[in-house]
Amino acid sequence: MELKSLENDIDTNTRTLRQCEEALDSLFHKELQLREGLEGILMEMHDLTSMDLENTIKNNSDGIASLQQILMQIRRKREQLHDQGYRLHIKLQCLKAEKRGVAKSTNMLLSRLLGDGSIVQSGMGEEDGKEGEQGDDDDGSWRAVVHSPPVLVSFIEEYREKDGP
């Protein structure tokens, strides 16, 4: 159940990250077009004589100021989207790592629960006194990584139902 939830979170995060990247790309192209247009206007103004330049500045100053404001807004929005994309990327990596951890923990618990019963039963009648040695891990090298109590509880309850009280 937790794995399914993590997979849904990963899918949602991936879609949001993709939308963020598409918006960034779109903003980049709009910003580029505006910058080229503004540069074109400024280059035309550079080529004009002083009298024509004065008239052009009077006529186009509002338009140039508007273009510069729009460029600033686009730049701020692009920076926000870039930051959001970075956070989404980090969150996605964390979710994937958590999913791997939960899957690994689940697999380890399942193998321990299913493997211990058969190993202990096969070792119980031995005369050498090493009953269940393989399943006990006396060296302490095995440590279960449990990220969520419901995963652990559900497996314990299933295990109890199989063996009885």
Q: Domain ranges for the chain, please list them.
A: 2-122+143-163
pLDDT at 48: 67
Alpha-helical (H) ranges within the chain are 2-47, 50-123, 133-136, 149-163
pLDDT tens figures, 122-147: 333 334 443 333 344 444 444 444 44
Q: Which 8-state DSSP code applies to residue 124? A: T
pLDDT tens figures, 33-71: 999 988 887 777 776 666 676 777 777 778 888 888 999
CA distance 88 to 82: 10
pLDDT at 125: 38
CA distance 31 to 130: 74
Given a cut of 50, whether residue 99 has pLDDT beyond it is yes
CA distance 67 to 77: 15
Tally the residues of the chain.
165
